[in-house]
Amino acid sequence: MNEPVVLWAAVLLPALAALSWIDMRTLRLPDVITLPLIITGMAQWWYFFGDANDAAIGAMVGYLFFVGVEVAYRRIRGRDGLGRGDAKLLAAGGAWCGWVDLPLIVLVASGAACVFVLAYLGVRRRPVGLFPFGPFLALGIASVWLVEALTDWL
């Protein structure tokens, strides 16, 4: 494996694991981890590709998309359905993977969350209630980044 990919993975993967753990316990994704993850994502994009334009666009589009979902859900349902930390984490995903991979990140995260909810309903037979989306988003980011890094960048 390419040594720079391993070094960047050593930054991304532990941060995503920490965010997942924190979100599962507190339903919060702290800025102290998500915001530096956006900046390091743009730095790694610059390292591999010589500029950070796609990463910056990915961060902005990812953030604005989830903020839009958050606001729309609150207006339609009258309650929160997605937190601002999720928007910041998707921004980090956009910074690490680029704007083109944002739909794939959301697809993987949403698919994994659907599998979780269906499995939970099968076992518990009662509504799930509030559950953290951050771990599923982290799975989507890690999966997409690793596939891209291991197939395209080596």
Summarised one tens digit per residue, pLDDT across range 70-93 is: 999 999 999 998 999 999 999 999
CB half-sphere exposure, 101, CA atoms < 13 A: 27
Q: At what angle do helices 31-49 and 84-97 cross, to 10 degrees?
A: 20
What pLDDT is stored for residue 153 in this prediction? 57
Residue count of the chain, please give it.
154
What pLDDT is stored for residue 87 in this prediction? 98
Q: How far apart are CA 99 and CA 102, in angstroms?
A: 5
Q: How many CB atoms lie within 10 A of CB 40?
A: 17
Stretches where the chain sits below pLDDT 70 are: 1, 128, 153-154
What pLDDT is stored for residue 125 in this prediction? 77
